[in-house]
Amino acid sequence: MSKPVLVYGVGVAGFATINFLLRQNIDVIAADDHLDESKQVELRKLGIEAVNAPTGNVLRDLVANSSYVAPAPGIPETHQVINEAVSQHKDLKTELDIAYERESQRVGGPRPMLAVTGTDGKTTTVMMAEAILQAAGRKTIACGNTEVPLVDALDMEVDSFVVEASSFRLAFIESFRAEASAWLNFDSDHLDWHTSLSAYEAAKARIWRNVRPTDTAIGVSGEVEVLKHLQVATCRRRVIGGSGDYRNVDGTLTGPQGAIMVSSELRRSLPHDVSNALVASALCIESGLATTTDAATALSAYTAPHHRIEFIGESDGVRWFDDSKATSPHAVVTALRGFESVVLIAGGRNKGLDLAQIAIEASRVKSVIAIGDSAELISKIFAGLKPVVVADSMQTAVEQAARLASANDVVLLSPGCTSFDWYGGYAERGDHFVGLVRQYISSVRSQGVIK
């Protein structure tokens, strides 16, 4: 009798993995550091043995008696179950490998996969690629590090997959591959999950670990670490931007097959929007799943997800943007590069990153409003560079921004930090900010106030 799989971490991806394995008639044992009663009830319904916060000999025996360990994305490299699996030379498989190995055995052959990784911009690029494939008449789905794990997507009526591949999912892969895969950028992030910055980089690089000569690896011009790994990828290679294979030529998005579309036809054409559009186009065109016409059709109608440099409204010549999804300094720098004069609202709960990187684009910042747990650090970073005020609530931040901004300025909430000091997540933070801004704009208009 074969040993069961140990699934460690019972969140969305963990439950999806458990259900997937059960559908394959594979026995499962589940464990979690915080196995609350509701999760235990759900596991009992599935007939699954559940272990809460195993340590010492209990954990050692769980790993020893498993065929392999399937850690959920939330289980960091530093976790004791990872160390135990490594010490016992036990395989570690994330849902990407589990799903890919199953898909490879599919009757009729595996369906094509595209994949995207990067410190920032993954979700937007994945959604753009999904839209392009849909414009090409394909039944496809964005999955992986989305609301739909890849193991769930396999059972859907689709003919292709666009996989958002976070470093958490890539860190342990041995078999997963995609016909076309892109690495957007690399900067410090998730150092609370990975053992080091080099381990984070190595995890990202695994996206090209199993490429075949007929596959395509895609990197972005100017991303030194990404291009270093791209140069040794053993498949067709494409570079985005600069003088690369896919680039913006005098306002026209262009690839090896010729013009794709005029950049002004994008609903938003900030520098990173153009780059992401080119990456998504390259993924779909190079894989043979879509044409330049499909890309132009989809991208001209594409609207970015909420909380990603999202325009809220304008009052007295001041434009307001919600970029609450920006939880790293790299993301803030990307946002700032789209504007010339910014009243920046930044801060929150830092995740061990170097927030001083934000000041790289200080020339684009008019003034700073520091918020949250990192307000003091943000203040120190911009001291002597730009005027800084501290706000003790989002309401105060909006009021201060309205006072500091003048015509042709942009007010940008781009925190560079997580939201867990004041909110339950970046979406909650962004929604609160958007509501306050809309109240302010409505008040100004109804009162006929002129600043």
Residues 171 and 316 in one domain: no
* Domain end call among 240, 271, 301: 301
With pLDDT > 70 as the criterion, what percentage of the chain qualifies?
Answer: 98
Query: What integer is the mean pLDDT of 175-203?
Result: 89
Place of tokens 């990173």: 272
Q: Say how many residues make up the chain.
A: 451
When pLDDT is cut at 50, 70 and 90, the band that residue 438 belongs to is very high
For 87-138, what is each residue's pLDDT tens digit? 999 999 999 999 999 999 999 999 999 999 999 899 999 999 999 999 999 9
Give the CATH number of the domain where residue 411 resides: 3.90.190.20
Alpha-carbon distances, residue 356 vs 36, 69, 194, 359, 419 (angstroms)? 39, 38, 21, 6, 18
Radius of gyration of the chain, Cα coordinates, nearest whole angstrom? 23
Secondary structure (3-state) at 390: strand
Domain count across the chain: 3
Mean pLDDT score, 337-359: 95
- Of 449, 324, 341, 447, nearest to 397 (Cα)? 324
Report the pLDDT averaged over residues 162-183: 96
- Please indicate, yes or no, whether residues 199 and 332 belong to a single structural domain of this protein: no
pLDDT at 450 over 50: no
Q: What is the pLDDT of residue 351?
A: 87
* pLDDT of residue 432 exceeding 60: yes
Same domain, residue pair 18 and 141: no
pLDDT tens digits, one per residue of 394-407: 999 999 999 999 99
Could you tell me the residue range of the domain that residue 351 belongs to?
Answer: 310-447
Examine the fold and report which residue of 259, 281, 301 is the final residue of a domain before the chain moves on. Answer: 301
Reported confidence tier of residue 446, pLDDT bands at 50, 70, 90: confident
Phi, psi of 236 (to 5 degrees): -65, 140
Residues 172 and 231 in one domain: yes
Q: What angle do CA 160, 211, 216 make, to 5 degrees?
A: 65
CATH number for 51: 3.40.50.720
**What secondary structure letter does DSSP report for 439?**
H
Residue 40 has pLDDT above 80, yes or no: yes
Do 55 and 192 lie in one domain? The reply is: no
Per-residue confidence (pLDDT) for residue 1, from 0 to 100: 61
Of 58, 93, 128, the last residue of a domain is: 93
Q: What pLDDT, in 10s, does the model give residues 274-290?
A: 999 999 999 999 999 99
Q: Is the predicted pLDDT of residue 189 greater than 90, yes or no?
A: no
Provide the residue type at 54 as one letter.
Answer: P
The domain that contains 140 carries what CATH number? 3.40.1190.10
Q: Specify whether 231 is located in the same domain as 165.
A: yes
Mean pLDDT in residue range 371-382: 98
Shared-domain flag, residues 156 and 170: yes
Query: How high is the pLDDT of residue 393?
Result: 98
354 pLDDT exceeds 70?
yes
Check whether residue 274 and residue 320 sit in a common domain. no
Asked whether residue 58 falls in the same domain as residue 105, the answer is no
**pLDDT given at position 445:** 85
pLDDT reading at 200 higher than 70: yes
State residue 352's pLDDT score.
86
State pTM to two decimals: 0.89
Residues 100 and 56 in one domain: no
Render pLDDT for 67-91 as a digit per residue (tens, 0 to 9): 999 999 989 999 999 999 999 999 9
Contacts of 15 (CB under 8 A, 6+ apart): 42
Residues 249 and 153 in one domain: yes
